[in-house]
Structure 1
Amino acid sequence: MVNVLAVLGLLVRSIVWLDRAFPNTKKKCMDANHYFCLISNVWILYFFTCNHFWHLVYAVEAYMVSNNKEMNTGMKVFVGWFIPLFMAGAAAVVVYYQGFNSCFSLSLTRSSIVYILFLSPVVMVMLINPVIFYQAGKSAKRALIWHYGRYTSSERKLVDAIHTKFYLILIIYFICWIPNLVNAGLWLRYESSRTSFIPDEKSILALFILMAVTNPLQAVLAALVFWGLPNTNRLRLNIFHRSEAHYNNSSGSSIINRSGLSGISTGSESEPLLSYRTKTTF
């Protein structure tokens, strides 16, 4: 959901600015274009930041479920909604505290702060989530062995399905957000040394187009991983469905997707490692 709202903000802002409805930086009084610039920028920053923090929440909760624990709902709401709100508010203050006419004209210092506030969650997810996913996979494997006293092909297929889902989540995230890190690095280097470094205009344009495609595309690709392809009212990727169905039909019920691992009935957070459909909002 947060991805959809962020992309919707990008789409509306792009349509308005294609009509050249830019705010006049020379005006001392606010007009509709200034208000739109402020609201749209904060909207986009907030919901994209929520997207990054919900990825972190997903990883932490997957790890906790694999260890027979449950993440507090209040903590999820705080991390997923309120921390991004604080960061978006801080970015708005940095940009507009000297006046609302600075929607486009930012100094190097203020631009750097905004880039840090926007991209630090991206770097955090790229560094932390792989470690958490790795530990969650190991914990799920240990839980299966401890519960059944065995590790046969059935358990192995379920663990492989969990690992595959984690890999897909990380690959999609890296592909969709690395262009933003590259763009930030190039732009900040250009602003700090305009005379010694002038990037190629075609390369910058290609990078902008790549970001315009990959950032919204993450919403689609992440939905396919988290929810799967629609198929007779069962929303999950076939590889996960087959692995889970095979294991549930084997000699023992799945400790991961049933109440044995998380202590909650099937269909809620008792199955976050495979389908993860209900409580975590993206």
Structure 2
Amino acid sequence: MADPTLQTFCCHHANRTDKAIAIMQEFNTDAYNTVCMISSTMGMIGAIYQILPREDFTISQRWRTFSRGRDIIVWLAVADLLASLGVFVRAALWRNFKSIMPMEGDMSSVIFCALSSAWIQYFYMATWIWTLCYAVHMKLLLGDKNGHPIYYHILAWVLPAILTSFGLIILYIPNANCHSLTSLSSAILRILPNYCTTYVLLVIVMIANPILYIASTRDLETAVLYSMAQMTGRERKLIQTVRLKFALINLVYYVCWIPNIINGILLWTLWFKLPIMAIITLWYIMVCLIFL
């Protein structure tokens, strides 16, 4: 739901002919906001479950390496909880008090939309980086190296702030009139930077995580062979479990965020003839995946 398309809706709509108006004519905002509220509530419940303390059920003392990534999972869940909270609050206020598309002169709706969008984008970006940090952390630990929690925190909290600020400042300043653009070149200068700051980071994590997890599994196999000089059924089971865990992490990440990538591709390749129903369908898919 860190979707740059919806963030452009925060701009003023001084005329009734821009593409956002055309999309909104086909868009049931009440139904969409209701789905947002339901899905984000489920997402918050799932995040709280991950944050709650639990007993360590690792297979053996020798393989407690994997429990050392628990702190990263907790911080990822905290970021996800705050992002889902932002989606819930924005949807609830949009449904009951504010307009999803501020009109000219409605500065309160513009400010609310911009700030809530920044909040959601920031914390979802943080979840992406924490996902990457977990993959890096596992690679280091399974390679018999120490992780770097301080660096993880700096990267996960500071980089999203920089990227979010950069993208949204260009989009909204000075007058939040990004829909008054008259050409594709002006749209590229005003709107595209926010897409780039959002989706480049997302794609980097999509590419890097599978590579890191494959390398981590190989490190685990090497560590088993060196320590045991043989591969017993118990070690094979552990390796298969780890491989499955890494595969599921990647699968969930891809399922959650590929619709955003598709949405961005459709928007920028079909700028002058937008497939409105396809884009709206993708928005519903994206919001339904919040709870994953």
What TM-score, normalized by structure 2, do the two folds share? Answer: 0.67
**Given residue 277 of structure 2, which amino acid in structure 1 is its aligned partner?**
K
Higher RCO structure, 1 or 2 (CA under 8 Å, sep 6+): 2
**Given residue 97 of structure 1, which amino acid in structure 2 is its aligned partner?**
I
- For residue 108 of structure 1, the aligned residue among 180, 187, 190 is 187
For the 8 Å contact 2:140–2:146, the answer to whether it is kept is: yes
**Given residue 16 of structure 1, which amino acid in structure 2 is its aligned partner?**
L
User: Where does structure 2 lack aligned partners over 5 or more consecutive residues?
Assistant: 1-77
For the 8 Å contact 1:179–1:210, the answer to whether it is kept is: yes
Matched, 1:75 2:155: no
Q: State the match for 2:104 in structure 1.
A: 26
- For residue 39 of structure 1, the aligned residue among 101, 115, 118 is 115
**Given residue 114 of structure 1, which amino acid in structure 2 is its aligned partner?**
N
- For residue 163 of structure 2, the aligned residue among 87, 97, 103 is 87
- Tell me the secondary structure at the aligned position of residue 217 of structure 1: coil
Q: Judging by fraction of residues, say which structure has more helix.
A: 2
Q: Could you report, residue by residue, the CA deviation over 1:85-141 in whole angstroms, capped at 9, with x for unpaired residues?
A: 111111122112223x34766752222111111111210111110000000000011
**Given residue 286 of structure 2, which amino acid in structure 1 is its aligned partner?**
M
**Given residue 84 of structure 1, which amino acid in structure 2 is its aligned partner?**
P
For the 8 Å contact 1:144–1:155, the answer to whether it is kept is: yes
Q: Could you report, residue by residue, the CA deviation over 1:141-181 in whole angstroms, capped at 9, with x for unpaired residues?
A: 11111111111111110011100000000011111111000
User: Where does structure 1 lack aligned partners over 5 or more consecutive residues?
Assistant: 219-282
In the superposition, relative to structure 1, how do residues 35 and 208 fare at CA in structure 2: closer, same or farther (>3 Å)? same
Distance in 2 of aligned mates of 1:24 and 1:123: 31
Distance in 2 of aligned mates of 1:131 and 1:121: 16
Q: State the match for 1:183 in structure 2.
A: 263
Q: State the match for 2:209 in structure 1.
A: 129
Q: State the match for 1:204 in structure 2.
A: 279
- Tell me the secondary structure at the aligned position of residue 127 of structure 1: helix
* Sequence identity percentage: 27
Q: State the match for 1:65 in structure 2.
A: 141
For the 8 Å contact 2:82–2:123, the answer to whether it is kept is: yes
Distance in 1 of aligned mates of 2:288 and 2:187: 27
Q: State the match for 1:165 in structure 2.
A: 245
Aligned residues: 209
Cα deviation for residue 14 of structure 1 reads 1.5
Matched, 1:17 2:94: yes
Q: Could you report, residue by residue, the CA deviation over 1:188-212 in whole angstroms, capped at 9, with x for unpaired residues?
A: 2232xx1xx341x332222111011
**Given residue 8 of structure 1, which amino acid in structure 2 is its aligned partner?**
L
What TM-score, normalized by structure 1, do the two folds share? Answer: 0.69
For the 8 Å contact 1:34–1:103, the answer to whether it is kept is: no
